[in-house]
Structure 1
Amino acid sequence: MRAGSSPAGPYALDVSPGRGPLDHAALRVLTLAPGGEHTFVAGRSEWIVLPLAGSCAVTVAGQTLARPLTFELRGRASVFAGVSDFAYAPPGSEVTVASRGGGRFALAGARLDADADAADDDAPAGPARPAFPARHRPAAGVPIELRGAGPCSRQVNNLAAADTFDAEKLIVVEVLTPGGNWSSYPPHKHDEHRPGHESRLEEIYYFEIAPAEGNPAAEGVGYQRVTPSGHGSGTEVLAEVRTGDVVLIPDGWHGPSIAAPGHHMYYLNVMAGPDPERRWLISDHPDHAWIRGSWERQAVDARLPLYDAPKG
């Protein structure tokens, strides 16, 4: 999906479950002018509000809260400038995002009742007592991981990974790939329920491409590959991606994600699925799984980390 191809109301991007190939994962990109604010109803979904550029205040209210809670998010200048804090809003709540200086904010969601009518997803209905409360996670609390080695080196900001942050279905991480490197490699999948081995998770990739130091005016690009796995709908994609573009992955082998030389690549991964356990379990493509063993003989790219989490 090209940037700007799926706007809806105040959102520059609106990927909603049940209105396309996804039934569980959701992503909206909200742009606010200085002094702007926007309110939405969580409905049957849980949400994370994550600054992409700028800062904001997030107020969460609802029948399950004794009083509204407001979280001040310091945010960041851009996704290439540092890791951000974020706020979590449970289903059934009402969420207001307000920004004094303006900015762009990702609203990453997971729909908990995929069998309900998609038109009802924004209704106030939600569980009488959500499993997890509204809360703030500071940037200093986000684990940063360096994954891979050599030309497959990348940085992972584990914002709301399954083993670092409690939620019902939602998994959210960021990946930063130095220019010229491959990430999301070896190709892998998570479209079968195989307890202890693989989980069913839809995935959204939202991309931003950094300007090149040698020519900041040049538009950067990256590439994303998805191939059928034999399960699900047979998704197949070979896409050139630019800032604001999105690739939707209901199933299939996904990877590599390729950053053009000179342009660091960022992508936000939003995952959710129907399995009873919230786990990120993957299967590597059997033709390419050997690449992991080669990392033991290679150093991690010296450009990483692009930044560290701030000290608490």
Structure 2
Amino acid sequence: MNLPVKNLLVKSKAEGRNVVALADGVLDYVGFAAYRLSVGENLPVSSGEKELCLVLLSGRVDVSGEAPGQAAFQWPNIGDRHSVFEDKSPFAVYLPPHSQAQVTALSAVQIAVCAAPGDVGKQLPARLIRPESMKRSSRGKAANTRYVCDILPDTEPAHSLLVVEVRTPSGHSSSYPPHKHDKDDLPHESFLEETYYHQVNPPQGFVFQRVYTDDRSIDEAMAVENNDLVTVPKGYHPVSVPYGYESYYLNVMAGPKRAWQFNNDPQHSWLLDL
């Protein structure tokens, strides 16, 4: 692991095509970048040795390209939400290793590129992931309620990539009680690195996120603003949303085994009995 225990917060850029990105080599399994495109702008995407999930956060696009072992693909005019805070699921595109694609913006667009190691020995086709195929659910209760959309869960085909988005109402907590997945000990717990890509509504707001381990070798509390990225190499990672603002985050997870099994912080597990 190349990541220092500090500087888990990656600040976003207010202008330009590149919104925020995780630098190469920071995590062993997870890669992430978010982009904003204007009408007619193109974003070329190449997966190389990785698999990718392109999540259309907002706007409309054409996607075309080619992937090993299948004919060229084209998905025109996809996307129907104006904001991640709409009560609807996104469109997404899965790209296996050694794929090439081009995204063309048909409106103002926000798009995320999620990456994880691919397995060229297990060939999967490129595919469009439609909103109606995604499971939506609520988790928690009272001021711990949040709303989840499984974009690429472990029940759907991929090599190592897991992608989910979560909306958290004003004044609520999320990823709470604090939980972790940093031990390769299935079926009890899986080792998964993770990133949190945040948006806040209204956009001048902020949320709080803490990342900490049992031994406190990592213990960082962050004020996270709109479009910022939080890196979770290991440890617990709860989020708290101040009154008056609502939170969105896109989670990307990957590790040596594609399974999501977590453990709650035992100091706070009593909260589950409330």
Regarding TM over 0.5, the answer is: yes
- CA-to-aligned-CA distance 1:143-162 (integer Å, 9 cap, x gap): 11100001100001111121
What is the distance in 2 between the residues matched to 1:200 and 1:60?
33
Aligned partner of 2:75: which letter? F
Match of 1:57 among 54, 62, 84: 62
What is the distance in 2 between the residues matched to 1:146 and 1:221?
22
What is the distance in 2 between the residues matched to 1:30 and 1:65?
29
Unaligned ranges ≥5, structure 1: 113-125, 212-217, 295-312
What is the distance in 2 between the residues matched to 1:197 and 1:210?
36
Q: How many residues align?
A: 263
What is the distance in 1 between the residues matched to 2:70 and 2:136?
34
- CA-to-aligned-CA distance 1:19-61 (integer Å, 9 cap, x gap): x2x1111111122110111212101111111111211122231
What is the distance in 1 between the residues matched to 2:222 and 2:209?
5
Match of 2:73 among 63, 69, 73: 69
1:271 matched to 2:263? The reply is: no
Where does residue 19 of structure 2 map in the other structure?
12
Match of 1:252 among 231, 235, 238: 235
Bigger fraction of residues in strand: 2
Report the alpha carbon displacement of residue 90 of structure 1 after superposing the two structures with TM. 0.5
Match of 2:93 among 71, 87, 92: 87
Aligned partner of 2:166: which letter? V
Match of 2:226 among 223, 227, 243: 243
Aligned partner of 1:100: which letter? L
Aligned partner of 1:177: which letter? T
SS at match of 1:290: helix
Where does residue 145 of structure 2 map in the other structure?
153
**Residue 32 of structure 1 contacts residue 104 of structure 1 at CA under 8 Å; is this kept in 2?**
yes
Report the alpha carbon displacement of residue 70 of structure 1 after superposing the two structures with TM. 1.2
Inter-CA distance 43–250: structure 2 relative to 1 (3 Å threshold): same
Aligned partner of 1:284: which letter? N
**Residue 59 of structure 2 contacts residue 106 of structure 2 at CA under 8 Å; is this kept in 1?**
no
Where does residue 215 of structure 1 map in the other structure?
none
SS at match of 1:199: strand
Aligned partner of 1:47: which letter? L
C-alpha RMSD over aligned residues: 2.0
Alignment of 1:158-307 (within 5 A): 158-163=150-155, 165-211=156-202, 219-230=204-215, 234-255=217-238, 257-275=239-257, 278-294=258-274
Aligned partner of 2:147: which letter? Q
What is the distance in 2 between the residues matched to 1:91 and 1:16?
20
Where does residue 11 of structure 2 map in the other structure?
2
SS at match of 2:183: coil
Report the alpha carbon displacement of residue 102 of structure 1 after superposing the two structures with TM. 3.0
Which contiguous aligned blocks of 4+ residues in structure 1 show a shift greater than 3 angstroms? none
Aligned partner of 1:181: which letter? H
What is the distance in 1 between the residues matched to 2:136 and 2:70?
34
1:43 matched to 2:48? The reply is: yes
Report the alpha carbon displacement of residue 83 of structure 1 after superposing the two structures with TM. 1.6
Match of 2:37 among 4, 27, 32: 32
Report the alpha carbon displacement of residue 75 of structure 1 after superposing the two structures with TM. 4.0
What is the distance in 1 between the residues matched to 2:179 and 2:222?
17
Aligned partner of 1:103: which letter? V
Unaligned ranges ≥5, structure 2: 1-9
Alignment of 1:114-153 (within 5 A): 127=120, 130-153=122-145
**Residue 70 of structure 2 contacts residue 125 of structure 2 at CA under 8 Å; is this kept in 1?**
no
SS at match of 1:166: coil
What is the distance in 2 between the residues matched to 1:161 and 1:75?
22
Aligned partner of 1:140: which letter? E
Greater C-alpha Rg: 1
SS at match of 1:136: strand
